[in-house]
Amino acid sequence: MKVSRVGFISALIYTGLSIVLAGAFFVATLLGNYNWLTRLGGAGWVFLLSMIILMPVVTPLIKKRVQSR
Amino acid sequence: MTEDKHMKKTTLSIGGMTCAACVGHVEKALKDTRGVKGTVVNLATGKASVEYDPAETSLSTIKKAVDEIGYEVILNTANLQVTGMTCASCVDHVQKAVSELPGVYRVVANLASSSARVEYEPQITSIGEIIKTIREVGYEAVERSEGAEALDREKEARDRDIKRQRNNLIISGTLGVLVMLGMFQPYWFPDLLPVWLNDNMKVVLFILTTPIVFGPGRQFFVNSWNGLKRGLTDMNLLYATGIGAAYGIAVINTFWPEAGFGGKDVTFYEAAAMLTAFIILGRYLEAITRGRTSQAIRRLMKLQPKRAKVLRDGQETDIPAEEVQIGDILLVRPGEAIPVDGRVTDGYSSVDQSMITGESIPVEKKTGDDVIGGTINKTGAFKFQATRVGKDTALAQIIKLVEDAQTTKAPIQKLADKVAGHFILGVHMVALIVFLFWFFAGYGLWFVPESRLILTPYTLTGLGVFGFALLTSVTVLVISCPCAVGLATPSAIMAGSGKAAEYGILFKGADAMEGTARLQAIIFDKTGTLTKGEPSVTDVITAGELAENEVLRLAAVAEKNSEHPLGEAIVSGARERGLELADAAGFNAIPGQGVEVQLDGRTILLGNRKLMADRNVSLDKLVGEAERLEHEGKTAMFVAVGGKPAGIVAVADTLKETSARAVEELHRMGIQVAMITGDNRRTAEAIARQVGIDRVLAEVLPEDKANEVKKLQAEGLRVAMVGDGINDAPALAQADVGIAIGSGTDVAKETGHVILVKDDLMDVVAALQVGRQTLRLIKQNLFWAFGYNTVTIPIGAGLLYPFVAQMVSPELAALLMATSSLSVTLNTLRMRGYVPPIRRKDIDFGEGHIHTVARVPQTSA
């Protein structure tokens, strides 16, 4: 029960943060002279790397918090 | 340290670990398992040492925890012939009884074939216990095989891995070269191919690359996904992102060239293909070479005999060695291996023990002598009674000790572990930063359309901002190499501890090995360590009338019935010289003075000055000699015959043959050497002078030895104590490194961090030399591993691009990465040929003496 809850909360957080970062990237590209596909491709890559970076960081943090309650 | 008696400790073989991050994952999974109190995982050995509470967890739970995160606990498999099963419930009985054993993971009994296949961990439950359990529930069981696969289970697992990677390499290498040729065909041989093929070249490359990415490359995606599902990252993720990005861009630009990722000319098929091929090449070579670093322990394992000839009811029966029971009488013929430890009951032979003790010369064995399992009987046949079997044999203890040592971590590894633990995450963060930098700033500032990938004619003309930033980002992911960081220390520890074991030097842990390498001072216990521990006759001086042998003979006659150690030394000294000892009459022991006897009507006195003075024997001529002998630390006893002085017999505890040479060598290595003893200062200093020790800790009570060690440590020295593993236990424990010498084969009982099987001080020197060589290797490996990443990651990130307009391609990055981890392993492999200088043949030790020393024991691998 606890495990699935940790997984769900963690996924919400790291996916949400990754979307925010990818969105920030996309918005930043709007200030420059980039075509749409470059913007989308770049945002996709930023999203992927952000997910990879945040997953192992967020999951243990949430697990710790849930277990300490 | 307090020890919970309920806790159990076992070492498991873990498959599938490829880098330091894997170690972290397995450790974490084990630590998170309920009932597991502690664990240490070693990448180089592929083993995990697990301390657990059997009341709270089981082997199945532990295995499940490891298997679930994508690794594998490699278990032994036993095929048993089970007779007596007649129905399905029999099968159930066998399965139930065996599955309840703590070390059994799975058992499948088969009624039709009268067999049972058991997956089990032999460190927890032996095959003998499994067979016994089956017999207890009413069936007969024997091992179906010769036990060969049990012995070689690790080799088989490694061979499987090597075979798998070799097949992957053949596929990815062959197709990868074709992709490479196809990719660069327009530059290298533009007119070779027909037009229709040229026009569809990208599709052909897609067809060639796809099987590589989803065949041999599939393992990276599967493994990284398994890890990511649990919030874990490892090397596979770096590869998967690198290969996936290169392949994805290539596919988009092939089928949707207008998508804006650089167009039809910008495909990275060769990057995806060669990246996969090079990573697999690295894994393949690493699988081969890593196995070789553990050959020393495998050589020990191979020594374990599989069969034994037991005499039961007067009949010679050939049985598996594992089934030998304590008390069994076994027969060994010339050339055969001794199956278990025991004591000779009948016969005479010489036995080659070099593989266990490092002694080069075969040891004679007669009735009452102990023999060691795994050693080779050379000349005669003999019978012996088994005294230790299974996991209690000397060989099994040594293997366990070395294996345990190999699963520990050296203090120097802490930094490497810290770095490796966060490496993958750090590299992905760098890759993101690099991508953002080149996307928003670098590309606009420095991009030159004519720029190239290093060592290729391939220009980056068609690359847009996204393609270029992605290329650098992927290169960073691929070029980084945490494998080298993770392998640097454990591979060297494994090679070093195995090498040491070849010489009968057993390090109890990696910390002991590192500690030995860093020693600054060594304290030797005197009696039994520097000296033989038994007094013997050193000098016989005659007063003039009688010959030396006659003086000794008369002294021995006087002491013939004595039980005093000095008297026994005189008697055995006389017997060694072949002197006949007649029976004397009127034996009279005078307490504190000596003895008096009658022989052929003469009175013979043997004793100290007081005895001679009381009997009015004038010692004028002998006093000077006596003082000289006493100054040398010897006990001088006067001999008088018929009231006249006849001579002196001096007795002393003599130095071992190698003590002085060992001390000299230690001094040469810059080690301070001290001697500790309970003897009076004069005797102690005399011994110290002979052996070349300048620091003497004399008149120290046994219980104060540890305090003396503390005093030296307080001077800021890293101190080793060398002594008897049992009597000197507190001092050995207090020392930074306790070296128990001459433990023989009962190594498990020994205190101390380092155990020397032989009673030879040269092994103390050899231990230091092996320790120092191992530490040297570790430092070289760490320097290379950290140096490689420090240099290549910035280059991969495009640091040099603004100056040279060339980029590292992902496939070149993969090649560099593979070379890096391979170089660390190859550097460690140098330990295989290492012979401690003190053990090399014909070494001149600086005084013009040529010493021939023990050969290196070699057994067939």
Residue B428 to residue A49, Cβ atoms within 8 A: yes
Average pLDDT in the B258-270 region? 69
Q: Which of the two residues, B457 and B278, has the higher pLDDT score?
A: B278
Q: What residues in A contact B464, CB-CB < 8 Å?
A: 38
Query: How do B452-453 and B521-525 pair as beta strands?
Result: unpaired
| Residue B627: burial class (beta carbons within 10 Å; 0-12, 13-18, 19+) | exposed
Compute the distance between CA of residue B332 and CA of residue B341 in angstroms, rounded to an integer: 12
Regarding beta strands B719-723 and B585-590, do their DSSP bridges make them parallel or antiparallel, or are they unpaired? unpaired
- Rounded to the nearest 5°, which phi and psi values hold at B71? -110, -175
Tokens of B468: 């270029």
The DSSP output letter for B391 is G
pLDDT of residue B764: 94
Please give the helix or strand (H or E) that residue B77 lies within, else none.
strand B76-83
Which residue from B259, B428, B469 is facing A52, i.e. has the nearest CB?
Answer: B428
The average pLDDT across A43-63 equals 87
Tens digits of residue pLDDT in B63-74: 888 887 778 888
| Domain ranges (residues) in chain A | 3-63
Which has the closest alpha carbon to B493: B17, B40, B35, B38?
B40
Give me the amino acid identity at B629. Answer: L
- Of these ranges, B235-249, B476-490, B647-661, B743-757, the one predicted with the greatest mean pLDDT is B647-661
Which amino acid, residue A6?
V
Which tokens go with B847? 């005084």
The answer to whether residues B245 and B470 touch, using CB atoms and an 8 Å cutoff, is: yes
Residues contacting residue B24 through CB under 8 Å, at least 6 positions apart? B420, B421
User: What secondary structure letter does DSSP report for B832?
Assistant: G
**The pLDDT of residue A4:** 64
B525 annotated active-site: yes
- pLDDT band, very low/low/confident/very high, at B727 (cuts 50, 70, 90): low
The pLDDT assigned to B750 comes to: 64
d(C-alpha B817, C-alpha B550), whole Å: 79
- Paired tokens of B527: 């009696």
The predicted structure's pLDDT at residue B229: 65
Give pLDDT tens digits for B307-347. 899 988 878 888 888 888 889 999 998 888 899 999 999 98
Comparing A11-25, B189-203, B466-480, the range with the smallest average pLDDT is: B189-203
| pLDDT of B468 over the 80 cut | yes
Residue B299: how many CA atoms within 13 Å on its side-chain side?
Answer: 21
Q: Do B233 and A50 count as a contact with CB atoms less than 8 A apart?
A: no
Asked whether the beta carbons of residue A52 and residue B228 sit closer than 8 angstroms, the reply is yes
Query: What are the tens digits of pLDDT across the range B609-635?
Result: 888 988 888 887 788 888 888 887 788
With a cut of 60, say whether residue B857 has pLDDT above it. no
* Digit-coded pLDDT (tens) for B685-708: 888 988 999 899 988 877 788 899
Q: Look at residue B663 and give its three-state secondary structure.
A: helix
**Mean pLDDT for all residues in chain B:** 81
Taking the CA atoms of B434, B440, B441 and B442 in sequence, report the sign of the dihedral they define. Answer: positive
Q: Is B248 on the interface with A (CB under 8 A)?
A: no
Q: Which pLDDT tens digit goes with each residue over B441-450?
A: 999 999 988 8
- Looking up tokens 């008697």, which residue turns up? B571
pTM surpassing 0.95?
no
Chain B (452-471) residues lying within 8 Å, Cβ to Cβ, of chain A: 464-466, 469-470
Measure the CA–CA gap between B611 and B569, rounded to whole angstroms: 20
Q: Which residue has the higher pLDDT, B811 or B308?
A: B308
Residue B847 CA to residue B746 CA, distance in Å, equals 37
Nearest CA in chain A to B261: A38
Predicted confidence band of residue B521 (pLDDT cuts 50, 70, 90): very high
Give a three-class secondary structure readout of chain A.
CHHHHHHHHHHHHHHHHHHHHHHHHHHHHHCCCCCHHHHHHHHHHHHHHHHHHHHHHHHHHHHHHHHHC
Q: B428 contacts in A (CB within 8 Å)?
A: 49, 52-53
Is residue B383 within 8 Å of residue B346, measured between CB atoms? Answer: yes
Given an 8 Å threshold on Cβ–Cβ distance, is A45 in contact with B259? no
Element (H, E) at B647: strand B644-655
Q: What is the pLDDT of residue B735?
A: 92
Q: Give the confidence band of B852 by pLDDT, cuts at 50, 70, 90.
A: very low
Which two structure tokens, joined as six digits, stand for B384? 């012996």
Q: What is the pLDDT of residue B847?
A: 38
| pLDDT value, residue B484 | 76
Give this complex's ipTM.
0.95
Percent of chain B with pLDDT over 90: 20
Q: Does A18 touch chain B (CB under 8 A)?
A: no
pLDDT (tens digit per residue) in B165-211? 899 999 998 998 888 888 777 666 767 777 777 777 888 989 999 99
* Residues B425, A60: C-beta atoms closer than 8 Å: no
Whether residue B849 has pLDDT greater than 70? no
